[in-house]
Structure 1
Amino acid sequence: MNLRTILILGALTAFGPLAIDFYLPAFPSMALAFGTDEKHVQMTLAAYFLGLSIGQLGYGPMADRFGRRIPLLAGLGLFTVASLACAYAPNLEWLIGARFVQALGGCAGMVIARAVVSDKCDAVGSAKVYSQLMLVMGLAPILAPMLGGLLVNTAGWQWIFLTLTGFSALAALAVALGLPESLPDYVPRQPLSGALRQYGRLLKDQVFLGHALTGGIAIAGMFAYIAGSPFVFIKLYGVPPEHFGWLFGTNAAGFILMAQINARLLAKRGPAFLLARAVWLYVAGGLVLLAVSSLHTTQLWPLLIPLFICIASLGCIAPNASACAMNGQGARAGSASALLGCLQFSVAAGASALVGVLHDGTAMPMAMVISLCGVLVVSVAILTRRLQNTRALAHAEA
């Protein structure tokens, strides 16, 4: 896969995180503008997660029926229009609705990017490309909060969504000019009428479901961090909004670094092997974070170390879990990618909402949700590994 394609796919994969990370420093300003508190502003985040999870289910069957380009361009167009609606939202209810529609458009890039990789690569090759995409995608959480904080302080929170409008328009142009159709002509087009049956078969595939949930629950912990960090960093520990991005970006840098280490390790070990070990690093970081949070420290740095470990480990967990889930999906790659994303962001929406529900003015709600995700990730990964070994043994005996 050439560099141009990887860059375009990286930008498409970054759509979901970018539309989240970019506006996090604006939470206090938006709460003030709409005459509410940050707990209610967090509903815009939960609405976005909900849109990401629901929307992906539609793009998967469309990508298998019409190819990758047409649904992708339609989604980018919807994201552009919805971003403008967010920028000119007259009240919080309007913004919540516009964020939901924005997510319906943005998730097209996430679904179809995974399908394109599956079209072109095998399991190990897919894991390597996913790791490379993490490098491109990882720049979003580094740069977006810093630029978002700058825009909030100089021009107002509306300019965050105007900038997203311009970015999506440029992405649509890049797809139109530089991303050819990847679904081969010899692959049979899957009818839309069979979408539910296809999803049913995927849900019955316990190994696929296990890998999807392993990655999804781990990512849910990251989104619990995303939902809780603006309050913890800015309000609880007094970090200025314009400096929020530096802390956020440090964790994103760990994510990128681990993804690149993972790409190199794949030359010697398969994605399933690396996934089974990375989950233990994640749960260790989560449990330490919970212990530190329970002490209610007056300094921020003790929280930052276990947070860094948790987010960095995702650079290994996310690409390997996706590669294992997508391995061998063939003609139903679009539907598999959609269901994978739906499961991931459904769990993420629940985790981010739970942080808001448990909000008590401390870092404990964020830490509790992250540590819970860590314990569940390890449990699901162990069970999936056993199922995979049992299936391999049955095939060998047959």
Structure 2
Amino acid sequence: MSRGQRLRLILVLGSLIAVGPLTIDMYLPALPAIVDDFAINSATVQLTLTGTLVGLAVGQLVIGPLSDALGRRAPLIAGTALHVVASVGCALAPNITVLGALRVVQGLGAAAAAVIAMAVVRDLFSGTSFARVLSRLLLVMGAAPVLAPTLGSELLRWTQWRGIFAALVVFGVLLMLIAALGLPETLPPGRRQRGGVLSTARLYRSLLRDRAFVGLVLVAALAMAAIFAYVAGSSFVLQGQYGLSEQQFGFAFGAGAIGLIGATQGNVRLLRRYPPQRILMAALLIGAVAALVLLGVAVTGFGGLPALLASLWLVLAATGLAMPNAPALALSRHGEAAGTASALLGAVQFGVGALTAPLVGVLGNGAAAMGLVIAGGLLAALVVLLLVVRPDRLAMVELDPVAVAVH
């Protein structure tokens, strides 16, 4: 594959996979407005975020095996269409119950992009090359968390929170066109899985018997839990506790996302000198220390808002280093079932996120609650890496890249 073809593929996949971050993040500045509109408490509105994450988790478990059996394009286009329909419903939702249910459906649709993009990259690349391409893909998809809250806050200047979901409808339609016109089929019929439900069950059983794979999936999920804790609590902490406006919150959130994205791109350079397991270990160590500092700042108030934002930035940057390497190490072990392995990885990540988001609200939605959940996630990820994965014994599985014609 030429450099031009690779760049076009990354741009297409990055655009498609952005639907998940946009669905999760774009309405964050509107959470306080939804609380007021429906006369509910903040923990209840955070359940709509949980619903999206549940949909993303369950949807990936279904769509991953389907993409291994039917190819990548058809499930992706169908899932994106489902997301568009759900977004229309969210814009018209009469109460929080309907909104929460439709957010689950939104997550189901967004799952198609999340799992299939990873599977397509694994179809075409392997080993360290996979980690490098994934880092580049994270640059493209990382623009979504940077832009989403800022875009949402700007939309709130001109419309109510329902207008954010109308914007997601427009974006979803554009995604369908991109998928239909710009994505080649990367899984030829000869490499597709057969056997229906029993074959799928055997694949999942095989994956769950791989101790290192399961450990790496847990590491990725626990590191992602830190991100979801930040996503769930940041609007209430920064707007409610520290008094930022909706627009100021959007810029603060974007600054953190820039740190995360910058780290994913620095990972490409680091991979030229160090194996991904060493980078992963260092990232989690730095992230755990930064998270403990964040918790201390949140509890004591020392340093105020600048200290809180600085420690958050370090946490997000460290997590950005971990995010490409844990999935790359995990998926490199099972190239024969990339869709199913990617589905299990994504399902566990978003499943843990679904538990994390309301936990911040249950603990009080303050800076201390957010800091506690972030620190707990990163410390747990470090423990799993050391005791279950055992990075000193872990070797990246290098496979020859699969030659696929890109039309």
TM-score (norm 1): 0.95
- The 8 Å contact of residues 260 and 319 in structure 2, kept in 1 or not, is answered as yes
Q: Which runs of 5+ in 1 are unaligned?
A: 393-398
- Rounded Cα–Cα distance in structure 2 between residues aligned with 1:154 and 1:298: 35
- Of 315, 325, 332, 1:327 maps to 332
Task: Give % identity.
Answer: 43
Tell me how large the CA RMSD over aligned residues is: 1.5
Q: Does residue 176 of the first structure (1) align with residue 180 of the second (2)? A: yes
- Of 204, 226, 230, 2:231 maps to 226
Q: Which residue identity is paired with 1:18?
A: L
- Of 207, 216, 219, 2:212 maps to 207
Per-residue CA deviations over 1:276-316 (Å, capped at 9, x if unaligned) read 21111110111001111110358311111111011111221
Q: Does residue 352 of the first structure (1) align with residue 384 of the second (2)? A: no
Q: Does residue 195 of the first structure (1) align with residue 195 of the second (2)? A: no
Of the structure 1 ranges 286-295 and 29-38, higher mean CA displacement relative to structure 2 is found in 29-38
- Of 100, 124, 127, 1:123 maps to 127
- Rounded Cα–Cα distance in structure 2 between residues aligned with 1:185 and 1:73: 18
- Rounded Cα–Cα distance in structure 1 between residues aligned with 2:201 and 2:351: 18
* Alignment-derived partner of residue 105 in structure 1: 109
* Alignment-derived partner of residue 304 in structure 1: 309
Aligned pairs for 1:275-294 (under 5 A) are 275-294=280-299
Q: Does residue 270 of the first structure (1) align with residue 287 of the second (2)? A: no
- Rounded Cα–Cα distance in structure 1 between residues aligned with 2:360 and 2:168: 26
Per-residue CA deviations over 1:76-130 (Å, capped at 9, x if unaligned) read 0000000000011011100000000000000110100010010000111111111
- Rounded Cα–Cα distance in structure 2 between residues aligned with 1:166 and 1:379: 43
What is the Cα deviation at residue 353 of structure 1? 1.6
- Of 255, 258, 266, 1:253 maps to 258
* Alignment-derived partner of residue 146 in structure 1: 150
- Rounded Cα–Cα distance in structure 2 between residues aligned with 1:99 and 1:385: 34
- The 8 Å contact of residues 71 and 189 in structure 2, kept in 1 or not, is answered as no
- Rounded Cα–Cα distance in structure 2 between residues aligned with 1:234 and 1:77: 34
Per-residue CA deviations over 1:109-166 (Å, capped at 9, x if unaligned) read 0100010010000111111111111111111111111110111232111111111111
Local SS of the residue matching 1:181: coil
Per-residue CA deviations over 1:221-241 (Å, capped at 9, x if unaligned) read 110011010110001111001
What is the Cα deviation at residue 330 of structure 1? 2.3
Of the structure 1 ranges 117-126 and 28-37, higher mean CA displacement relative to structure 2 is found in 28-37
* Alignment-derived partner of residue 237 in structure 1: 242
- The 8 Å contact of residues 217 and 377 in structure 1, kept in 2 or not, is answered as yes
- Rounded Cα–Cα distance in structure 2 between residues aligned with 1:298 and 1:41: 30
- The 8 Å contact of residues 54 and 104 in structure 2, kept in 1 or not, is answered as yes
- The 8 Å contact of residues 233 and 366 in structure 2, kept in 1 or not, is answered as no
- Rounded Cα–Cα distance in structure 2 between residues aligned with 1:347 and 1:224: 10
* Alignment-derived partner of residue 373 in structure 1: 377
- Of 49, 66, 69, 1:65 maps to 69
Local SS of the residue matching 2:390: helix
What is the Cα deviation at residue 388 of structure 1? 6.6
Per-residue CA deviations over 1:242-286 (Å, capped at 9, x if unaligned) read 111110000111011111110111122222221121111110111
- Rounded Cα–Cα distance in structure 2 between residues aligned with 1:390 and 1:226: 32
What is the Cα deviation at residue 184 of structure 1? 3.1
- Rounded Cα–Cα distance in structure 2 between residues aligned with 1:271 and 1:91: 46
Local SS of the residue matching 2:248: helix
TM-score (norm 2): 0.93
- Rounded Cα–Cα distance in structure 2 between residues aligned with 1:143 and 1:181: 29
What is the Cα deviation at residue 58 of structure 1? 0.1
- The 8 Å contact of residues 288 and 306 in structure 1, kept in 2 or not, is answered as yes
Following TM superposition, the consecutive aligned residue runs of length 4 or more in structure 1 with deviations greater than 3 angstroms are none
- The 8 Å contact of residues 10 and 133 in structure 1, kept in 2 or not, is answered as yes
Aligned length: 391
- Rounded Cα–Cα distance in structure 2 between residues aligned with 1:171 and 1:387: 38
- The 8 Å contact of residues 385 and 391 in structure 2, kept in 1 or not, is answered as no
- Rounded Cα–Cα distance in structure 2 between residues aligned with 1:256 and 1:101: 28
- Of 5, 25, 48, 2:9 maps to 5
- Rounded Cα–Cα distance in structure 2 between residues aligned with 1:58 and 1:87: 26
Q: CA 1:374/1:20 → structure 2, altered by over 3 Å: closer, same or farther?
A: same
* Alignment-derived partner of residue 404 in structure 2: none
Local SS of the residue matching 1:2: helix
Of the structure 1 ranges 243-252 and 31-40, higher mean CA displacement relative to structure 2 is found in 31-40
